[in-house]
Amino acid sequence: AGDGDCGHTHARAARAIREWVRARPPPAAPAQLLSALADLLLEKMGGSSGVLYGLFLTAASQPLLNHNDLPTWADAVDAGIKAMQRYGGAAPGDRTMLDSLCAAAQALHALRSPGADLLPVLAAAVQSAEAAAEATRHMEAGAGRASYISSAQLLQPDPGAVAVAAVLRAVLEGLQ
C-alpha cells in the first residue's frame, strides 16, 4: 500500500528465520521444516502476511508427510494456495500475494512431468511470479489492504506479490 508495512513485516520474518537457523539446525524432513516455519512466522512475523504464510506452510506440509518427490512439492504448493484462498478470501486477480503465488504454482505443475528437473522449473516459476507481481501494478485491488485505497493512489506493484516473488527467487538462489 506504499506505507512500508509489508516490507517491515517481511524484514521481521527474515530476522526471525535467521535467528532460528543460527540457534538450531532446522528440521531435515520437509513436512517438519514447513510446519516449524509456519509456527515461527505465525509467532514472529505478525500482520495478515504472517497469518497467510502460516496457513500456506501448514497446509503445504501435509502432502509432504509421506512423500518428498517433485510432484508432491507441486501438490504442496497447491494445498498451501487453497488454504490461503479459503481462509483469506482472495483470489488471483485481486492484487495480492496470491497473484505471484498462483503464477508460480502454474509453472511448478511441470514438476509433475516425468523427468522434471527442479532448478529449471523453479527458475520458470520465479519468472512467472515476478511477471505476475509486476502485472499487479495495473490491477484494481479486490482484497487485502490495497482494497481500501483509491486505485489512483496504487501506482506500484502490490507489495505482497513482490515479496512472494522475492522469497521464491531467494529459494532458487539458495538451491543453486
Q: In order of start, what are the domains of the chain with their CATH numbers?
A: 5-175 (1.25.40.340)
Q: Where are the alpha helices (DSSP H) in the chain?
A: 5-23, 30-44, 47-61, 70-88, 97-108, 118-135, 159-175
- At 115, the pLDDT band (50, 70, 90 cuts) reads very high
Mean pLDDT of 35-48: 94
DSSP letter (8 states) at residue 144: S
Of the candidate ranges 56-65, 112-121, 155-164, the one whose mean pLDDT is the lowest? 155-164
Give me the pLDDT at residue 148, please.
Answer: 45
Residue 1, pLDDT above cutoff 90: no
How high is the mean pLDDT of the chain?
Answer: 89
pTM of the model: 0.88
Residue reference for cell 481462509: 87
Residue 143, pLDDT above cutoff 60: no
Cβ count within 10 A of residue 39: 14
